[in-house]
Amino acid sequence: MACARDIWEHPEIGEQEFYSSKRLADFLESHGFTLQHGVAGLPTSWVATFSNGEGPILGYLAEFDALPGLSQEAGSPVRKPLKEGQPGHGCGHDLLGTGSAFAALGVKEAMLLNKISGTVKVFGCPAEETLVGKVYMARAGVFDGVDIMLGWHPGSENAVTFASSLAMTSIKFRFHGKTAHAAGDPQDGRSALDAVELMDAGVNFMREHIIDEARVHYVITSGGGAPNVVPDRAEVWYYVRARRTEEQKPILEWVRQIAGAAAVMTRTTGEEELLSTCREVLLNDPLAQLLQENLQQVGPPVFDAQDWEFARKLSENFAKPDSVPLDTTITKLEIVPPDKWRWESGSTDDGDVSWIVPYGRITTACSAKGGTGHSWQVVTCAGSAVGFKGMLAASKVLAGAGIDLLTQPKLRQAAREDYIKKLEGKTYECGVPDSLPPPSLRKPAGAAK
Ligand SMILES: [Zn+2]
Ligand SMILES: [Zn+2]
């Protein structure tokens, strides 16, 4: 608990999680795991390994990045920033990382106690929120050779996550024009902001002609400094999403063409910077089934009167408060074929991992029902008893399933066969070219000529 709380107290955004990453790695190292730091060229990534002789390799995914601007006191049912404007664990990754580490520790103890051979690894994956960590780790082959991967995400219900997530690309478009006095000699200027605006207009017209399930959104990250100066630089940051990578790619190509056309129209030049791109999650039926059985055995988190009181008060802030604010049930698992899969509206870089190794994940109640993700309401839960109780339940489920997988070759075999089936003959290809370093290690825009 101290580890999760400590990470919660030191919220750091993606690729900057120096304290949090080390805290979790040190925790595992002090419990007998061997650490390899800075894998895939990501300074805050690591792999922690415990081996008990020849045998299968079981992996757990850990994350620890926070979100900007969500600083919030723990356990307070009202908005109360600890440090105004500072980051906060609005996605509960303090719990996610620690919960996965706990699960691996449980498996390690069971391996020693019962002479189970094999290896358990925890993958310290930075920058999930920007979908960077696991994608760059996947590209570097960090997950190769793992037999089964398990993971979880703090949520507000207790369930096996039998839903995929959207394939997504995070990409910036920068335009370069010519500055001039906007009133004095506008004829000599070429506005980079015009290019951004025309590009956005073009994309908004494109929307009518793409599939319903696609999601395209943008922010203008730079658009000039004053109206009387023709901006010679402007930048817009896009997320382009769709269910399957093959549906997402053509939409991304269309967006790229619109960017090029906007540059032509405005007599500016443009360039793109690909930040990351991730795939949809491949669901694994046998792993989902196994996780469900373990979830039922462990049971939902047990909350006390204080937790209920806190959750009730907190949910008064929600647009749609739930009359029973804490989930103490287990959602029924319904396994369906790929053409009937449910899709989460967000994206996760777990997707790339699921294309490399059979992958299963769960969620447990770590916050009040009816709230939204990425909010101060999640931060307050993720640093308090409600969050910690949800995390412990998740750890036990993941540990139980892990021990089953290490000791029962048939389960691993079934998961592997299902994974091969879900690949439908395709092989994993990372969407980020080998030449691109992780975003935080690139030269600042415009530094290189
Ligand atoms: Zn998250
Ligand atoms: Zn998130």
Contact, 353 vs 398, CB < 8 A?
no
pLDDT-derived band of residue 445, with 50, 70 and 90 as boundaries?
A: low
Q: Average model confidence (pLDDT) for the chain?
A: 96
Nearest ligand to the C-alpha atom of residue 155: 1
Q: Where do the structural domains in the chain lie, given as residue ranges? A: 2-164+280-423, 167-279
Is 449 a residue whose pLDDT tops 50?
A: no
**Neighbour tally for 198: CB within 10 Å:** 21
Task: Give phi and psi for 23, each to the nearest 5.
Answer: -60, -45
CA distances from 270 to 195, 240, 256, 433, 439 (A): 9, 19, 10, 20, 19
Nearest ligand to the C-alpha atom of residue 346: 2
State the maximum Cα–Cα separation within the chain, in Å, rounded to a whole number: 82
How many CA atoms within 13 Å lie on the side-chain side of 349?
Answer: 28
Is 360 a residue whose pLDDT tops 50?
A: yes
**pLDDT digits 0-9 by tens, 256-310:** 999 999 999 999 999 999 999 999 999 999 999 999 999 999 999 999 999 999 9
Q: Which amino acid is at 207?
A: R
Cα(103) to centroid(ligand 2), Å: 21
CATH number for the domain running over 167-279: 3.30.70.360
Nearest ligand to the C-alpha atom of residue 373: 2
CATH tag for 2-164+280-423 (out of 3.30.750.24, 3.40.50.300, 3.40.630.10, 3.30.420.40):
3.40.630.10
Is 446 a residue whose pLDDT tops 60?
A: no
**Nearby residues for ligand 1 (ion, Cβ within 5 Å):** 91
Q: Using CA atoms, how far apart are residues 244 and 168, in angstroms rounded to an integer?
A: 9
CA dihedral (75, 79, 82, 87) positive or negative: positive
Cα(225) to centroid(ligand 2), Å: 31
Is 8 a residue whose pLDDT tops 70?
A: yes
Cα(366) to centroid(ligand 2), Å: 14
Facing residues of 124 across strands?
46, 62
For the chain, percent of residues with pLDDT exceeding 70: 99
Give the angle subtended at the CA of 349 by the CAs of 346 and 354, to the nearest 5°. Answer: 110
Cα(128) to centroid(ligand 1), Å: 7
Average pLDDT (24-53) is 98
What pLDDT is stored for residue 227 in this prediction?
A: 97
pLDDT-derived band of residue 429, with 50, 70 and 90 as boundaries?
A: very high
**pLDDT digits 0-9 by tens, 106-133:** 999 999 999 999 999 999 999 999 999 9
DSSP, collapsed to helix, strand or coil, labels residue 168 as strand
Is 320 a residue whose pLDDT tops 90?
A: no
Cα(397) to centroid(ligand 1), Å: 19
Cα(398) to centroid(ligand 2), Å: 20
pLDDT-derived band of residue 448, with 50, 70 and 90 as boundaries?
A: very low
